[in-house]
Amino acid sequence: VFVTHVEVSNDLHYAKVFYTVLGKEDQAEEIIKSVSKVSKKIQKDIAFRLREMRKVPLLSFHFDLSIQKGDKVLKILEDIEKEIEEKNE
């Protein structure tokens, strides 16, 4: 699991954590469920590590499809390039 980016509210009360899974698309649904199950523990661990902060943002986790979508676009472009090369031979 890789964190792709985090959006924090201006008042620092909330943070959206976007994550993805590389190379395991077939396990994505299972991983999403697992992240959901451990999200409170992650929140607690971060609060403990940042205990000097007055308030730690409330985290919400969101699966980020942008990398998978980007991979699909790259695959389509590669297929188009391959077709063009085959026509030019």
Task: Report whether pLDDT(7) > 90.
Answer: yes
Q: Is the pLDDT of residue 9 over 90?
A: yes
Tens digits of per-residue pLDDT, 12-56? Answer: 899 999 998 877 677 888 888 999 999 999 999 999 998 888 888
- Give pTM, 2 decimals: 0.72
Strand partners, 15: 8, 59
Domain boundaries, the chain: 2-64
Query: Does the structure show a pLDDT above 90 at 67?
Result: no
Q: Tell me the CATH architecture of domain 2-64.
A: 2-Layer Sandwich (3.30)
Strand partners, 14: 58
- Residue 80's H or E segment, with its range, is helix 66-88
Q: How far is the C-alpha of 20 from the C-alpha of 75, rounded, in Å?
A: 19
CA separation for the pair 73, 12 (Å, rounded):
35
Greatest distance between any 2 Cα atoms in the chain: 67
Residue-level pLDDT at 3: 93
Residue 81, CA distances (Å) to 3, 32, 41, 74, 77 in order: 32, 34, 47, 10, 6
